[in-house]
Structure 1
Amino acid sequence: MTSAIINPTIQAAALAGLSNLLAQAIQAYRTDQPLSLDYRTLLQFVVFSLIATPPNVLWQEYLEENYPGDQIDEKGIKRLHKHNTAVKFVLDQTVGAIVNSLLFVVGIGALKGKDSSTIWDDCQRVGYPCCAHYDLKIVGP
């Protein structure tokens, strides 16, 4: 892996850990309970981030390669390519968001040890009824 993938992955894992710690602290504050860190949940979020970030970096690189955000005008000045930027935004906020949301539900579910039918139920519950049309078979013993 190149540093173009490694650096964002390390940063994303650190942010995932920090955000989970903050979420646990906020939950403890809201419920007026002492903070008792759930290290298992913290680790699940960090591991998921380590797994999910490299494909996301590659997705962003793909979008930039196919829809460059900058263009050089006739005077040699770099300017924002508005159409390509809009296309990237729409693709990322539709296709990218759907795929990432599903992968988050599936990935965290798998890291928590849920079985495939429970994970698909979770997908449907969070708004992906398309999952009901596929029978997920996990290959293994």
Structure 2
Amino acid sequence: MKAGKLFRDTMRASSLGDSDEAARLYAQIPESEIDNYNMFIIAFFAGALGVRFKDDHSLAAIKQFAEEMQIDYRNAKPPVKQLVIEGLIRGMLGEEDLFDEISPEDQYRTQLLAIRKIVGQSPEMQARLDDYLTEAEALSDQWIAEA
């Protein structure tokens, strides 16, 4: 399976809540492609944030989303951290220095949980999931080419 298709299929399963399928597909990603997959996740996360915060990306809206995530994932182990959620979103919206305060592991996990929440609550993203995956693939390819 080509890496781009594998990335898309993995993200599709993850964003729709099929964690078993996402884990099965993730296991097929070659170690040499993991950094590229992580870039793809960041690009898809950016698109999801654009949908969720298109009308209001204020600190209050970000805090509300973080509080909702804590409720939605209240049984998660390890617990979801409100400051990580807020910092990650604010970092994506321009406060990039906040990324320095969040471990790569927390960034990865929080992005996936936030993506799942946003896609699950967005009929638009569900209906146009292939379009969002295509946009994320193009954006991540651009970022990789520029690196």
Same fold by TM-score greater than 0.5: no
Bigger-Rg structure (1/2) = 1
Please state which structure has a larger fraction of its residues in helix: 2
| Structure with the higher strand share, 1 or 2 | 1
TM-score when normalising by structure 1: 0.29
TM-score (norm 2): 0.29
* Higher relative contact order, structure no. (Cα contacts within 8 Å, ≥ 6 residues apart): 2
